[in-house]
Structure 1
Amino acid sequence: MKVAIITGAAAGIGAATARRFRDDGYRLVLADIDVSGAEAIAGELDALPMRCDVSDESDVAALIDAAMKAYGRIDCMINNAGILGAVGPIGKTPAEDYRKAMSIMSDGVFYGIKHASNAMEDGGVILNTASIAGIGAWSNHSYTAAKHAVVALTRSSAVELAPRNIRVNAVAPGNVVTQITISLTGSEEAAVERAMSRNPLPHVCTAEDIAASFAFLAGSEARGITGQVLVVDSGLSAIPIPASYHLTESRYVG
């Protein structure tokens, strides 16, 4: 039996990853600040639901402790929880919105790596949801900064933890249609149209595409891979971002 913890598991990429890992035979601990959403997915997959605010280190520590008490081991930690955050020009971005995005997506990944690695006595896999924003500038400022931090933490922790047989990698999605992108565009149809208009490859990446990438990186076929970022974006990051991308209406998308 293998055990995986997934944060941000109530919807989108997290929920799709939970379903994929359950199909692959994992026992699951599904964490989200949306308790009812986590409980719904957990009920579907016979998993353990947990409320977890990843910006709170004590919550993340409690999540790891709960997994160890329930199953006695952690084979895979997937740090997926995230928001979009403040959208718009940097000159109009509220500092508190910037800090909130960093606390969830940067601090949250740090806490997840820290506490999961401490519990992985016999090796394991830690996977992080990065973004093409983390290898370029394809998003709003706070999200871009946070995802660059995720990429950096992935690489630095991979080097430290490699002698303990803990592999650390990240997946960098492009325009995946989830509730976050739908909230940005206004509808699922608009989110799909937006992605298709930008992607060089005529394919809109799905949450299941990202889940499959996580499954590969967690598996034995990726045993020689650590400290890497797997980009899944239909080619979007291969083209330059226009400066006008950031000149949109200022608002916050949680």
Structure 2
Amino acid sequence: MPDLSGKIAIVTGCASGIGAATVRRFLSDGAQVLGTDINADAGQALCDELGATFLPQDVSDRARWSEVIVAAVTKFGRLDILVNNAGNVSGASIGDGSDEELFAAWDQVIAVNLTGTMMGCRAAVAAMKNNPGATGSIINIASTTAITPLPTDVGYSASKAGVRALTKSVATWCAKQGLAIRCNAVIPGATETGILNAAEEVTPGLKAAVAATSPMNRLAYPAETAAAIAFLASDECPFMTGADMLVDGGALSIHPGF
């Protein structure tokens, strides 16, 4: 089990799904956690239950990122881990709706999933540079749709592909600067989360279809992805940066005809 004793972590999108499972896992592994979510009621309730600190946050708000980082450093003294988990879906294909509807959906999902993740990386790197040895671990949550996009959601697919490239850019920049700040991406397969449930409402039957893409023929549990995140957050993998960690039940390892 990864040891996160004494580590200070921020987890965005903490109110449900992978974010909530990650808060639980980090606390059980010894970390102190500040969770954030745009759903303040659910996020506060979860953090109160588990013994974490909570702040409301819209990750697409640049000013709020500065406030969250300052709050974490003020309360705990430093920042060791950032999990950029908050995300949403656009629910629109390239041919859906009017231009205004598609562009509004695109702008919103890119602002949260991609720009919000970039702003989190930037704010975290600035804080982690002050750690002894300039150490830290940033984990960005991408998706298998970054590699095998959904025709039914152009914004989500593009944003998660962007998260993969962003992760590698951040990782290599930090390494080239001589910083011991690692940045890796976790690529979950179809997982029992609020986002997938929302996508199911737009595309009925999607959950069963994506579950069938895995040779294991099921959806992932959020705790399974949280375990991978905890490993990347720990000191067990100091030479691992810019990597994609698949937690997809083998979905991307099998020919689609089989």
Q: Normalising by structure 2, what TM-score? A: 0.87
The alignment status of 1:64 with 2:69, answered yes or no, reads yes
Q: Which has the larger helix fraction?
A: 1
Change (3 A) 1:184 1:136: closer
- Alignment correspondent of 1:245: none
The alignment status of 1:50 with 2:62, answered yes or no, reads no
The alignment status of 1:136 with 2:171, answered yes or no, reads no
* RMSD of Structure 2 on Structure 1 (CA): 2.1
- Alignment correspondent of 2:166: 153
Structure 1 runs not aligned, ≥5 long: 243-254
Residue pair 2:11, 2:83 contacting (<8 A) in 1 also: yes
Find 1:102's aligned residue among 92, 95, 110.
110
Alignment: residue pair count: 241
The alignment status of 1:126 with 2:147, answered yes or no, reads no
Where do 4+ consecutive residues of structure 1 move more than 2 Å?
86-93, 183-186, 190-198, 201-204, 237-242
The separation in 1 between residues aligned to 2:126 and 2:198, in whole angstroms, is 36
The separation in 2 between residues aligned to 1:192 and 1:106, in whole angstroms, is 24
The separation in 2 between residues aligned to 1:217 and 1:53, in whole angstroms, is 25
Deviation for aligned residue 1:182:
1.8
The separation in 2 between residues aligned to 1:195 and 1:50, in whole angstroms, is 33
SS in 1 for 2:54: strand
Deviation for aligned residue 1:191:
6.5
Deviation for aligned residue 1:237:
2.3
Residue pair 1:138, 1:241 contacting (<8 A) in 2 also: no
CA offset digits 1:29-82 (Å, max 9, x no partner): 000011111101110121111011100110111110110111011110000000
Find 2:251's aligned residue among 229, 236, 240.
236
Q: Normalising by structure 1, what TM-score? A: 0.89
Aligned AA (1:160): W
Structure 2 runs not aligned, ≥5 long: 1-5
- Alignment correspondent of 1:170: 185
The separation in 1 between residues aligned to 2:43 and 2:96, in whole angstroms, is 36
The separation in 1 between residues aligned to 2:211 and 2:52, in whole angstroms, is 35
CA offset digits 1:119-159 (Å, max 9, x no partner): 01221000000111112314621011101111111000101
Find 1:12's aligned residue among 1, 4, 17.
17
The separation in 1 between residues aligned to 2:65 and 2:29, in whole angstroms, is 25
Aligned AA (2:113): M
The separation in 1 between residues aligned to 2:121 and 2:200, in whole angstroms, is 32
Change (3 A) 1:144 1:239: farther
